[in-house]
Structure 1
Amino acid sequence: MEKQKVVRELKPSLKTIHLWGIAVGLVISGEYFGWSYGWASAGTLGFLVTSLLIAAMYTTFIFSYTELTTSIPHAGGPFAYARRAFGPTGGFIAGAATLIEFVFAPPAIALAIGAYLGVQYPGLDPKIAAVGAYIVFMALNILGVQLAANFELFVTVLAIGELLVFMGVVSPGFSISNFTANGWAGGDVLNHTAILGILGAIPFAIWFFLAIEGAAMAAEEAEDPRRTIPKAYIGGILTLTVLAIGVMIFAGGVGDWRKLANLNDPLPQAMKIVVGNNSSWMHMLVWIGLFGLIASFHGIIMGYSRQIFALARAGYMPGVLARVHPRFKTPHLAIILGGIIGITAIFSDELVTFGGQTLTANIITMSVFGALVMYIMSMLSLFRLRRREPKLERPFRAPIYPLFPLIALVIAAVSLVTMAWLNPLVFAVFVVAMAAGYGYFLSTKHLRDAAPEDEMLEGTGSLEEVTLQTSLVSTDD
């Protein structure tokens, strides 16, 4: 009896501009908060070194990752690439790591939303505000991908504009001497403390770019993914690199940067140094700055829901999570599950706050562990598929192959080992989570055996056949 084939129910309606908005929007909250913890570890100059190194990793990674995304435009993103390259176990490793990255990033962002609102409303509990954000944006994601993508594009453009305004407003108070003062942990670059600080700042430099790869999870909902995805990714990484370096330098040069380290709202506090507490510029930054956090929060909800959906559809999670809302054509149960996990993390201070780090810092570190494992698996999948499937249609090929994917792979691997050494408790939690997932994976082979056949995962069908199926679903809708 022939096995049933996957029916792609996600509606393809996203254009290049939407995908660019998702790619940038997923990440842009990293320019508003989180990165300042890197100053606490490495100093301004040390963190600049870390950030440039990580920017090199992401640039080479995105140019390489785009080959996978355009060759295999699947909602599972990294899970699909590793599944096709290394089989079910490879798919599990990449899928579970991606899920940890995307499920643990939103609670950190939600807490930052609460911190930003706290500037305007000092009596507001940040955790209550964070839960409210979850409820609102889970609902928006359930209402439809076109509505969600248009909203994402709108708030992303506003957030970019606000970062440019921030740099312009604080520029009169900028001094390079402020930025370089105490710029190295321990006093100078050659000491042991400075080197450890640079290494310890890796997760916070990654936070500048974390989750840009999530746009790949909208590939099944993209119009002509072979053409639109490369444009969106290349434009996205260039946009984010310029903004990250600009924001970090301008914020660090307005006064004593040490007062901004370990804060969830470094930009309003930096602007306050220049324009004062009651300036209309400062209040505008708080309100419009929320759009940057909202863009990432909203976009990552979209990303984690597609990952859960794809894993469930392939038999890696309970099949009920692959259900699509009959009216809105969105994976509503997957959206809700990720929200429940995120809200639980927000209220688990005693579990998440340890090792001398804040709740937000530990959540960021946990998310980064997932990201680094996924990056490593994705680059290994690229090398493997180049060898195993030389005839696979590749609308976009990684430039300067194999150098670009090799650079991304090496930096990601070194970063993972370094972070595990410097954050042993968070790494232990990550390992336990992956091990628990693997136990579930081993005990549920029957779910994968019963799952519909997916040409993109198995490599049994051509890209043209899959694209035709997707377009037929769109026409029927």
Structure 2
Amino acid sequence: MNHRPAGTVTHPELKQTLGTWQLWGIAVGLVISGEYFGWSYGWASAGTLGFVATAIFVAAMYAAFIFSFTELTTSIPDAGGPFAYARQAFGPVGGYIAGAATLVEFVFAPPAIALAIGAYLHVQFPGLEPKTAAVGAYLVFMALNIVGVQIAATFELCVTVLAILELLVFMGVVSPGFAWSNFTKGGWSGASHFSLGSFSGMFAAIPFAIWFFLAIEGVAMAAEEAKNPRRSIPIAYVCGILTLVLLAMGVMVFAGAAGDWTKLSNINDPLPQAMKFIVGEHSGWLHMLVWLGLFGLVASFHGIILGYSRQIFALARAGYLPAWLAQVHPRFRTPHRAILAGGVVGIAAIFSDNLIQFGGQTLTANIVTLSVFGAIVMYLISMLALFKLRRTASDMPRPYRAPCFPFFPGFALAAALLCLGTMIYFNALMAGVFAVFLALGYLYFLATRRQRENAPAGTPADALLDR
């Protein structure tokens, strides 16, 4: 048992209420909007077949990453997730890099999803401005997250199950029109046959393949609120990644085989548009998909709000952000100020067309790319932290050990490096934006050393490991 001296100021702590199924709901719910939109942007550069190859490679990377990342999550169940792992492995600077990258990933993913929610509602209510609906979504789900993590996680589980059922319904409804020839026509970057030039499109599509699985690692940020993180987190992660791989491949193939897939790229609502090929514009199935399809978007939107708020909370608690962001609501025991702060940034991003809409990409595509940059950097430093802690903290309790070590984390590390290199090459402008964010954050990091030194003592993970 860890015993702190009397009078020692300790960290604000979160309430431990989450069970295994709720964590699975968070794992799948965080990501499942990626099956509803975003991925079809990859078709524009890679074609359907080229994008399948890219998606399989990325799925393999995520599987290896999750099997390895789970070791860190169960060994150090801290709300900071990757930030906590990197800080323990590499010190304050490592913690800053991981924390800043994770913050970019989780703060900029929600506005992309909110815009998709607006696009779905606009199909049903043409008079409703998508950005207005996106802001409304922020207000509703920030409030729900503030009310309590148990309520939020139960809601997340329910909408995730409904979202999965809806994806299965979508595949069933379009299956009568399934034609493999539709999917393969121009499937290699618009060409009928594979060529060396197809590689360029496949590499350019990497951010949108990552969008299929982006943010599953957010379960790590709920670890501090899990009842039994040693047992529940590995089950949630493994079941979650298997669920998502099957859904991603199924949705992509059935949508592309329903008709002219070129009409589905570069739009925010590919599934309703794919269904129109089969049932027409006025079918009740289409209206059902629009309404129930919102469950998938809402599940991810709601779950990522939970994720970004815990990351902001943990960074503030450790002195990397202003301490007032680490305040916990006296009644609901949730990081309400962190929830609101991330929402302000997300809403600003929704209205940042002139700043983020450049390089020939849509606003949504650029926000997705920026979020993916944050994710990839975080994956890299997390795998490096795993290797470092295996060497320097060999006696640290490890309730779960990464299988096939060092091959799984080594593959995840190498794949993430390849993804980062190709993303920088094909998205130089957004890479520059990401670099500016990191540089500005580092200046703040350098200017606030005393703030970190005065942060409360103790590590929440210590007490959690004793439970």
TM-score band, normalised by the shorter chain? over 0.9
Alignment-mate amino acid for residue 371 of structure 1: A
Q: 2:16 maps to what in 1?
A: 12
Q: 2:317 maps to what in 1?
A: 313
CA–CA distance in structure 2, aligned partners of residues 186 and 330 of structure 1:
49
CA–CA distance in structure 2, aligned partners of residues 27 and 5 of structure 1:
37
Q: Does 1:78 align with 2:82?
A: yes
Question: Which SS does the other structure have where 2:197 is aligned?
Answer: helix
CA–CA distance in structure 1, aligned partners of residues 87 and 302 of structure 2:
27
Determine if contact 1:46/1:189 at 8 Å carries over to the other structure: no
Q: How does 1:335-354 map to 2 (within 5 A)?
A: 335-354=339-358
Determine if contact 2:50/2:202 at 8 Å carries over to the other structure: yes
> Which of 211, 229, 235 is matched with 1:207 structurally?
211
Q: 2:455 maps to what in 1?
A: 451
Deviations 1:382-435 (A, max 9, x none): 000000000111000000000000010000011001100110000000000000
Q: Does 1:152 align with 2:143?
A: no
Q: How does 1:394-405 map to 2 (within 5 A)?
A: 394-405=398-409
Determine if contact 2:26/2:219 at 8 Å carries over to the other structure: yes
> Which of 165, 171, 175 is matched with 1:167 structurally?
171
Determine if contact 2:32/2:299 at 8 Å carries over to the other structure: yes
Question: How big is the shift at 1:122?
Answer: 1.1
Q: 1:387 maps to what in 2?
A: 391
Alignment-mate amino acid for residue 230 of structure 1: P
Question: How big is the shift at 1:277?
Answer: 1.1
Determine if contact 1:455/1:466 at 8 Å carries over to the other structure: no
Alignment-mate amino acid for residue 202 of structure 1: I
Question: How big is the shift at 1:454?
Answer: 2.9
CA–CA distance in structure 1, aligned partners of residues 124 and 194 of structure 2:
43
Question: How big is the shift at 1:456?
Answer: 5.8
CA–CA distance in structure 2, aligned partners of residues 324 and 336 of structure 1:
12
Determine if contact 1:188/1:194 at 8 Å carries over to the other structure: no
Deviations 1:226-250 (A, max 9, x none): 0000000000000000000000000
Deviations 1:218-270 (A, max 9, x none): 00100010000000000000000000000000000011100000010000000
> Which of 234, 237, 240 is matched with 1:233 structurally?
237
Determine if contact 1:55/1:241 at 8 Å carries over to the other structure: yes
Q: How does 1:264-283 map to 2 (within 5 A)?
A: 264-283=268-287
Determine if contact 1:138/1:339 at 8 Å carries over to the other structure: yes
Alignment-mate amino acid for residue 387 of structure 2: F
Q: 1:110 maps to what in 2?
A: 114
Q: 1:197 maps to what in 2?
A: 201
Determine if contact 2:264/2:270 at 8 Å carries over to the other structure: yes
Determine if contact 1:268/1:285 at 8 Å carries over to the other structure: yes
Q: 2:303 maps to what in 1?
A: 299
Determine if contact 1:14/1:149 at 8 Å carries over to the other structure: yes
Q: Does 1:253 align with 2:257?
A: yes
Alignment-mate amino acid for residue 236 of structure 1: G
% identity of equivalent residues: 68
Question: How big is the shift at 1:188?
Answer: 5.1
Q: 2:412 maps to what in 1?
A: 408
Question: How big is the shift at 1:467?
Answer: 4.0
User: Any gaps of 5 or more consecutive residues in structure 1?
Assistant: 458-462, 472-477
> Which of 45, 55, 66 is matched with 2:70 structurally?
66
Determine if contact 1:60/1:404 at 8 Å carries over to the other structure: yes
CA–CA distance in structure 1, aligned partners of residues 364 and 161 of structure 2:
26
Give the root-mean-square deviation of aligned CA atoms: 1.3
CA–CA distance in structure 1, aligned partners of residues 458 and 92 of structure 2:
13
Q: 1:333 maps to what in 2?
A: 337
Question: How big is the shift at 1:186?
Answer: 4.9
Distance 1:307 1:324, change over 3 A: same
Distance 1:10 1:456, change over 3 A: closer
CA–CA distance in structure 2, aligned partners of residues 325 and 366 of structure 1:
31
Q: Does 1:121 align with 2:125?
A: yes
Report how many residues are paired: 463
CA–CA distance in structure 1, aligned partners of residues 238 and 318 of structure 2:
30
CA–CA distance in structure 1, aligned partners of residues 162 and 181 of structure 2:
31
Determine if contact 1:186/1:193 at 8 Å carries over to the other structure: no
Q: 1:142 maps to what in 2?
A: 146
Determine if contact 1:80/1:456 at 8 Å carries over to the other structure: no
Q: Does 1:130 align with 2:134?
A: yes
Q: 1:88 maps to what in 2?
A: 92
Determine if contact 2:12/2:328 at 8 Å carries over to the other structure: no
Q: 1:460 maps to what in 2?
A: none
CA–CA distance in structure 1, aligned partners of residues 193 and 340 of structure 2:
47
Q: 2:183 maps to what in 1?
A: 179
Question: Which SS does the other structure have where 1:451 is aligned?
Answer: coil
Alignment-mate amino acid for residue 248 of structure 1: M
TM-score normalised by structure 1 residue count: 0.95
Q: 2:359 maps to what in 1?
A: 355
CA–CA distance in structure 1, aligned partners of residues 290 and 25 of structure 2:
21
Q: Answer with 68-77 or 182-191: which moved more.
A: 182-191
Distance 1:400 1:5, change over 3 A: farther
Determine if contact 2:184/2:192 at 8 Å carries over to the other structure: no
CA–CA distance in structure 1, aligned partners of residues 341 and 59 of structure 2:
32
Determine if contact 2:188/2:194 at 8 Å carries over to the other structure: no
Q: Answer with 425-434 or 2-11: which moved more.
A: 2-11
Alignment-mate amino acid for residue 362 of structure 1: N
Question: Which SS does the other structure have where 2:118 is aligned?
Answer: helix
Q: 1:439 maps to what in 2?
A: 443
Alignment-mate amino acid for residue 79 of structure 2: A
User: Any gaps of 5 or more consecutive residues in structure 2?
Assistant: none
Question: Which SS does the other structure have where 1:330 is aligned?
Answer: coil
Alignment-mate amino acid for residue 231 of structure 2: R
TM-score normalised by structure 2 residue count: 0.97
